[in-house]
Amino acid sequence: MKFSVRREKKLRRLQSSIRSFVLWCVGVSAMLASFAIPTQATPKTTIGISTSLTGPASNYGVDIRNAILFANKVLANNAYEIVVEDDRCDGKTSVSVAKKLVEMDHARAILGYTCSSSIMAVAPYLERKKVVAIAAGTTAPQIADAGDYIFRTIQGDDQGAQILFEHALKRYQRLGVLSAQTEWNEGIRARLIALLRGSPLVVQVEEVIPTPYDYKSSLLKLVRGGADAIFLNVMPEAAFLAALKQVQELQFKGDVLAFYHPGSESFRDKVQGPLPPIYYIDNGAPNEIFTPAGREILAQFEREYGQLNSVPLTFASAFESFRALHEALQNGGGLTEYLLTHSFDGVIGRWSFDRRGEIVGLDVKLVRYQH
């Protein structure tokens, strides 16, 4: 009995000692923690966006920016630091923006690009720096040969020029072409004229400066020259609207041909009065471009950002440019090698890049405008 009492007292003393030691350890740990250096989070990889946020092409540029920001959220859980700059569709500004994104922000790659003039201006610099750019809104044919680091997720205009040529050859005797002196319009004009050379179709070309949008004297020459169709090869959309209005004022009775502009929602909102027949190159309606899952993603985007200002293809192209870059960055190897050797399952189905960085898996067609 006495032995049991003594053993119980020893046990209580031992438990008391253990409690004291534990409390001492906790206190020391707390003290050390107060002097610890905070752990720094791993910095995010930076991706640049260069696009037109102001000016006549901003309805496309804003959609491109929003689609990329949305893609960073839904495809990468906001894993990247996105730096957005307004290049204003101006070549000199675009070069300054690219230098800032690469040299100051240390962007691994640049997405965006609303205008062909922008990507053509920055291509030599990005080639020297070996920085990848994936353009979402630039379709001038010559971009296909801009360099090894220049990609795009929208088709070039070679296919569209071929379709327009075949349409004109079947329907018209004399084709008038109003063509602005921009990178995009020059590329389309050159391709179309090369196709028309040697054909029975008579072609009259009036080249105009990009601004101001006063084309009446040039259009009058085309009408008086007997054109039974006029190709309004001008950009941005505001220029096309101005040219179309002047065609209406001249009471032109023939067809109007175009690329893309009549397919945008903003065009439908702004066009007024009786219109001549309009045939234009486009990618079709969303149910023709997007997979069922892609249409759901587009609907989710529009719930968050509102209705597109431009066309559904703008969203698809920008969203897929981010997808491709994200997958290439996650791979951890060379970006250009990955982009050139892999296929992507996206909102437009399976697609890839060819050896020149051109998208494969996206086609255009001729559409009759319906107001």
H/E segment holding residue 97: helix 91-99
Write down which residue in 216, 250, 282 finishes a domain.
Answer: 282
At 206 the pLDDT is 97
- Per-residue pLDDT band for 311 (boundaries 50, 70, 90) equals confident
At 96 the pLDDT is 98
Pick from 86-100, 139-153, 254-268, 342-356: least confident: 254-268
Supply the CATH number for residue 345's domain.
3.40.50.2300
Write down which residue in 267, 282, 297 finishes a domain.
Answer: 282
- Count other C-beta atoms under 10 Å from residue 142's C-beta: 16
Distances (CA, A) of 25 to 11, 13, 36, 198: 21, 19, 16, 93
Please determine, for residue 28, whether its predicted confidence score (pLDDT) is greater than 70: no
pTM equals 0.80
Query: Quick one: 339 and 300 in the same domain?
Result: yes
Mean pLDDT of 324-351: 97
Distances (CA, A) of 11 to 1, 2, 4, 319: 16, 14, 11, 70
Is 97 a domain residue?
Answer: yes
At 207 the pLDDT is 97
Please determine, for residue 304, whether its predicted confidence score (pLDDT) is greater than 80: yes
Query: Quick one: 219 and 110 in the same domain?
Result: no
Mean pLDDT of 185-204: 94
Nearest in space to 275 (alpha carbons), one of 309, 249, 236:
249
Mean pLDDT of 238-247: 96
Is 369 a domain residue?
Answer: no
At 15 the pLDDT is 53
Rounded-to-integer distance, Cα 125 and Cα 122, Å? 5
Across all residues in the chain, what is the average pLDDT? 90
Nearest in space to 110 (alpha carbons), one of 135, 75, 140:
135
At 48 the pLDDT is 98
Is 15 a domain residue?
Answer: no
pLDDT tens sequence across 15-26: 555 555 544 554
At 56 the pLDDT is 87
Query: Quick one: 236 and 144 in the same domain?
Result: no
Query: Quick one: 218 and 163 in the same domain?
Result: yes
Write down which residue in 282, 301, 325 finishes a domain.
Answer: 282
Query: Quick one: 149 and 162 in the same domain?
Result: no
Query: Quick one: 89 and 148 in the same domain?
Result: yes
At 29 the pLDDT is 47
Query: Quick one: 101 and 207 in the same domain?
Result: no
- Per-residue pLDDT band for 286 (boundaries 50, 70, 90) equals confident
At 13 the pLDDT is 56
Nearest in space to 252 (alpha carbons), one of 271, 228, 279:
228
Mean pLDDT of 284-293: 88
Query: Quick one: 307 and 257 in the same domain?
Result: no
Query: Quick one: 167 and 276 in the same domain?
Result: yes
Rounded-to-integer distance, Cα 72 and Cα 319, Å? 9
Query: Quick one: 125 and 173 in the same domain?
Result: no
- Domains in the chain, number: 2
- Per-residue pLDDT band for 316 (boundaries 50, 70, 90) equals very high
> Range of 145's domain?
46-155+287-363
Rounded-to-integer distance, Cα 63 and Cα 68, Å? 9
Is 234 a domain residue?
Answer: yes
Q: What percent of the chain has pLDDT over 90?
A: 80
Edge-to-edge order in the sheet of strand 81-86: 81-86, 46-51, 109-112, 132-135, 150-152
Is 41 a domain residue?
Answer: no
Is 9 a domain residue?
Answer: no
At 37 the pLDDT is 39
Query: Quick one: 136 and 185 in the same domain?
Result: no
Which tokens hold the place of 82?
């996105």
Query: Quick one: 163 and 151 in the same domain?
Result: no
Is 122 a domain residue?
Answer: yes
Please determine, for residue 36, whether its predicted confidence score (pLDDT) is greater than 90: no
Pick from 35-49, 242-256, 268-282: least confident: 35-49
Which tokens hold the place of 250?
């001249």
Mean pLDDT of 40-55: 88
Is 136 a domain residue?
Answer: yes
At 12 the pLDDT is 54
